Amino acid sequence: MTSTTSVPVQCVDRTVPSDTLGMTLFHEHIFTDNRRRAPRPDPTVEDACEVWASPMDARLAAHLRDNPMACEDNCVLEDVDVAIDELGYFVRAGGRTVIEQTPIGAGRRLADLATVAAATGLNIVAGTGFYMEVMHPEALSTISDREITDRMLNDLTTGQDGVRCGLIGEIGVSADFSAAERRVLQAAGRAHVETGVPVSVHLPGWHRLGHQVLDSLQAEGVPAEAVVLSHMNPSVEDSDYQLSLAERGAYLSFDMIGIDWYFSHTGFQSPSDVQVAGAVLGLWEAGFGAQILLSGDTFLKMQLRRYGGPGYDHVPRRFASRLQRVGLEAHDVGALLARNPARVFETAARSVRSSAGGMASGPEG
């Protein structure tokens, strides 16, 4: 029996009530291809060229922690059988739902997602939209703003080969926040207004563009409570920034759990899980626990269990207990993993209904 707040959530192979999503990883990739945005090695540096050309192997793991995109093969997730096996760890940890946010042009494979859903029993929600400009398909610059919106609407309402998407995102925003990216973000906003589906945005986490994103979407009629701001982990030491975004009603996605790497091509260091847990606790104690989402953003082979990575089960098996060690109760952690993901879809749908008949309401407590 569904609750009065429950709304339908479109998965790749079925529609389910939001209050049955259960334990959810809100920002993951099952199939993706990041080779286009990976920096190529200096051809005069033999060791770097050798690593780039090597098949991914657990023996590369230590090296890749300081340069995760240095191996071309590491940048691709494309094997159906591997995906089924790796997601099995999450299922055995009690997992029920995965929000798969691979955008158009970044290795998205909707039919294969349906195969994985059938094999694992997971609810898999696929995303629609376009990533950062460096990953935009060439044809994107030749079509109208309305055609960009219509492409997303088609994924949400008709689908491909019977496979429909249930999320708008992840919509890519780079540090430059280019005109092309703003155009896509605005198109995503219009798709939300027409469907009530939430919008998930890739933020350049080491920069502070969250308010610009919310302002751009608000101009299209999208309230903050219909927006998920991804990659909040890098800003864990800037509590003022995170609190200011939460105060506007946006959902804050801490979706780089287990990613404590150094990105040598950008000079950025990801925070540890200890630091992330502290930031989550701070937001919880400030009264914004209902707006926190958790995930691992699996996008490289090195994150899979077979290569020595934390795996899709890292959040429920290890990070959840870390949250309890810093002060959250077990039922609070359960709410972060199950109730909050459902709330995203409910508040997004409600915001469209409310704007049609009055003022939109924010996330529930």
Give the residue numbers of the binding site: 27, 29, 170, 202, 231, 297
Residues belonging to the chain: 365
User: What residues contact residue 287 under an 8 Å CB cut-off, 6+ apart?
Assistant: none
Cα–Cα separations (whole angstroms), residue 236 to 107, 125, 267, 362: 30, 27, 17, 24
Annotated binding-site members for a divalent metal cation:
27, 29, 170, 202, 231, 297
Cα–Cα separations (whole angstroms), residue 18 to 9, 156, 205, 349, 363: 6, 16, 28, 11, 15
Residue the block writes with tokens 């919106």: 149
User: What residues contact residue 258 under an 8 Å CB cut-off, 6+ apart?
Assistant: 273, 296, 303, 309, 310, 314, 315, 319
